[in-house]
Structure 1
Amino acid sequence: MKDDITIVCDLLLNEYGSARPASLIAKDLSKRGYSIKIVSNIISEEINKNFQSHGISTFSLNRKPCLKDESIIWFRLWFEEAFLHRNSLETSKFNSVILNFSNTIAMPSHIWYVQGLPTVTLKNMKPHLPLRYKLPYMLMAKILNYGEKKINRKFASLSKKIIANSRYSASQYENLGINVDSIIYPPLDCKSFKPVTSHPSGDYFLTYFGKETQFRLVKRLLDEGIKIKSFGSKLSIIPKAVREHPNLESFGYVTKNQLIDLYSNALATLFPFSDEPFGYIPVESMACGTPVLTYDKHGPKESIIHESTGWLVKDDRELLEKAVEIWKKGYDSHMRSKCRKRSLNFDIERIAPKWIKIIDSIESDTA
């Protein structure tokens, strides 16, 4: 058995979002013979069993969620750490290499993996947030900004090295005076996310619906006659004019296999966003052979190659125009194979060795 590694991450109610890099890396390292322990504020019973089946032990702070909304639970944990230090841990509990993927558990670490500043995301999302979220944010913005500077400088002071999930994320931390040592993109399991057909139907665009979705833009796309299929766990957030539109088919929550099928058969994936430190959706789509239409900024700008694996536009007007053009005229079929090839740069098989190299250097330094 190789040396022990402790991976710290935020709440683990599922393996999506910011938890996915930690989960995939933990499982890959365990497969390679490392002894892995996962530490989190909250670990669901299902996720705990899943980790145990991969030979991974877990340590939960047992912070009981008082709400069902994961975003609200995460914010509460972040707020309590920023202002009350409720989640801080000492390394005496863990005699190992420590990789901290968390924004809510402060502890001395060999590596802190940063995935974007929450206040930057909130600021960029504000114009598109429902009023029930927008008003509290506006009232608390100054307090949140203060807390963020405080907590991130604390995390940085406790970490020997800082790695960011994208150049865009790195720039956010550097604006706070925090030096980022390197970039390692989040991994994807490209053995799971792959094309399931060589003859995609190509008769719809695929998109994700969430709190930050620009539904006015979606409505305009639907009104142009574009058929759209959507996924996302909360159907209640979809405005009636969009939800009942004849050109929309909304699936709500989908399984991984259903999502892969949706990606594989889509003409393209639409990804209008307000803030995206990395963006798993574009990489998942490319892995399934489907190009992505999105904005020329943030994380997706780093993963998508314009006119090769998708299209990067500057604003909503250009996105609407390009979507109509693609819908009516299509695109070179070779883009699909280029998408698959590009996605392999983010495959766990290529990302894991980068982490192993860093872990080996830590072990040699402490030997």
Structure 2
Amino acid sequence: MQVALVHDYLKEYGGAERVVEVLAETFPEAPLYTAYYDLNGLGKHRDRFKNWTIKSSFLQWIPGAGRLISPLRLLAPKIFESFNLSDYDVVISSCNVYFSKAVKTNSKQLHISYIHTPPRYLYGYTTSFNYKKNPLVRIVAEIMNHFLRIVDFTVSQQPDILVANSKNVAERIKKFYRRDSIVIYPPVEIAKVTTIVRTLAKVKKSYFLSVGRLVKGKGIDVIVKTCAKLGLPLKVVGTGPELNNLQKILDREDNKTIEFLGQVSDEQLPKLYAGAIATIVASEDEDFGIVPVESMAVGTPVIAVKAGGFLETVVDGKTGQFFNNATIVELMKVLQDFDPAKYRAEDCKKQAEKFSKERFQKEIRELIKKNWP
């Protein structure tokens, strides 16, 4: 069985790239087709991708193409249609914002499209880039998005099977694509995380933790401002364009309790989870959210906004606590009364095991076996 993997583009490392990495591990002979790649954008994860067989489009040869990805999204479906995948039995596309599900396959092939979410910018969900601030850009973008919604619906009918990364995303697929989907939760490196933590001496839990890209829509500003107001120790893991704005907030308040750690290694992150009183997540309608699962895997409870994929990973009152809205007032209510002693590490770990990498690989293999040939 010959397998090909397809991904929107590869120029940063997030949840979608983690899925692609595990798919490549599951099917080590499979090449990766993508519109464009820049391994330098993967930061500390770069070396794990350097020996991959990556086949890119004409965008790869255009100077400054990394900055043109968004303006050229009208061409994205044609980019993926141009790939010749006729030599493969099974095609697995990993689709988020750039229409990789548009690849052409024939009746003898099985095309499974793993949908991280229908493009958030097309359907009114919060994104990291607020184009609506500029009136001219807003007008052009809305016209473009009207046509892209039509294109997105059309190409979403092409794959044989749509896989959603959560029940939350499955509902979006049903609403916008009018198709049923199979839910296979993303893979989380539970075994790797727990192995690293086992080597640690018992650590004192002395701070709250936030992990994620520092972009709009992730709620990092709410977390930082709330902890600053309460004088609570907070470590922030991640990089992104919002870092300067967040740092300015702290400078104005002369805050000394909040620390920005930037990007950390895969070995360091579990140790940070282990030393946290709780991990705080406040993304607006998160598609799935791997961070809560990683936190629970080491026995650390989660404080999460009551929305999106967090409703599927965190068990309120058992592995963490919800707050109603991503606002300073609501988060403050929870933090002021939060008692970590209420949460058993074993309950957190047991919940996290439901989202393991091995479970993901098994479900993907079983899906292929059931539908091909």
After TM superposition, is the score higher than 0.5? yes
Q: Is the 8 A contact 2:173 2:181 kept in 1?
A: no
**What is the CA–CA distance in structure 2 between the aligned matches of 1:273 and 1:353, rounded to whole Å?**
29
316, 330, 336: which one aligns with 2:340: 330
Corresponding residue SS for 1:13: coil
- The percent of aligned pairs where both chains have the same amino acid is 22
* Aligned match of 2:175: 175
- What secondary structure, in the 3-state scheme, does the structure 2 residue paired with 1:11 have? coil
TM-score (norm 1): 0.83
Q: Is the 8 A contact 2:278 2:340 kept in 1?
A: no
Q: Tell me, yes or no, if the aligned pair for 1:190 and 1:348 is still in contact at 8 Å.
A: yes
| Partner of residue 13, structure 1 | 11
Unaligned runs of 5+ in 1: none
Distance 1:131 1:36, change over 3 A: closer
Match of 1:114 in 2: 115
The counterpart of 2:293, out of the listed 283, 302, 313, is 283
AA in 1 matched with 2:225:
K
Residue 76 to residue 202, structure 1, CA distance change in 2 (3 Å): farther
Contact residue 162 and residue 181 of structure 2 kept, 8 A: yes
Distance change (3 Å), C-alpha of 1:44 and 1:241: closer
Q: Which residue of 1 aligns with 2:313?
A: 303
Task: Tell me how far apart the structure 2 counterparts of residues 116 and 229 of structure 1 sit (CA, whole Å).
Answer: 29
Question: Structure 2, unaligned stretches of length 5 or more?
Answer: 106-110
Relative to structure 1, the CA distance from residue 131 to residue 120 in structure 2 (aligned partners, 3 Å threshold; closer, same or farther) is closer
Task: Select the residue among 92, 100, 118 that pairs with 1:99.
Answer: 92
Task: Report Cα offsets for 1:167-187 as digits up to 9, x if no partner.
Answer: 111212222243132111111
- State whether structure 2 residue 77 is matched by structure 1 residue 78: no
Judge conservation of contact 2:116–2:169 (CA < 8 Å) in 1. Answer: yes
Contact 1:11–1:42 (Cα < 8 Å) also in 2: yes
Aligned to 2:229: 223
Query: Is the aligned partner of 1:24 residue 2:27?
Result: no
**Structure 1 CA distance, aligned partners of 2:122 and 2:85?**
34
Tell which deviates more after alignment, 35-44 or 223-232.
Answer: 35-44
Q: 1:259 aligns with which of 239, 257, 269?
A: 269
Structure 2 counterpart of 1:61, from 57, 63, 86? 57
State yes or no: 1:201 paired with 2:204.
yes
> Which residue matches 1:159?
159
Please give the alpha-carbon distance, in whole angstroms, between the structure 2 residues aligned to 1:122 and 1:156. Answer: 14
- Deviations for 1:61-111, whole angstroms, at most 9, x for unmatched residues? 25237669x7x66534534325xx234235544322001113333213511
Q: CA deviation at 1:200?
A: 3.0
Q: 1:99 to 1:92 in 2, by over 3 A?
A: closer
Cross-structure match for 2:250 = 242
Cα contact 2:210–2:279 (8 A) shared by 1: yes
Distance 1:15 1:250, change over 3 A: closer
Q: Secondary structure at the match of 1:251?
A: strand
- Answer whether contact 1:264 1:290 (CA < 8 A) is retained: yes
| Aligned mates of 2:122, 2:201 — CA distance in 1 | 37
Among candidates 13, 35, 40, match of residue 41 of structure 1: 35
CA distance in 2, matches of 1:58, 1:147: 30
Aligned residues: 347
1:210 paired residue number = 214
Letter in 1 for 2:173: Y
TM superposition shift of 1:134? 3.5
Q: Distance in 1 between matches of 2:140 and 2:204?
A: 47
Which TM-score applies when normalising by structure 2? Answer: 0.82
Inter-partner Cα distance in structure 2 for 1:48 and 1:220? 34
**Paired residue type of 1:245:** N
Cα distance in 1, alignment partners of residues 27 and 355 from structure 2? 16
Amino acid at match of 1:118: P
* 2:15 counterpart letter in structure 1: G
> 137-146 vs 347-356, which deviates more?
137-146
Structure 2 CA distance for aligned equivalents of residues 63 and 75 of structure 1: 12
In structure 2, give the amino acid aligned to 1:345. Answer: K
How far the C-alpha of 1:119 sits from its partner, in A, is: 3.2
Which consecutive segments of 4 or more residues in structure 1 shift more than 6 A?
Answer: 46-49, 129-133
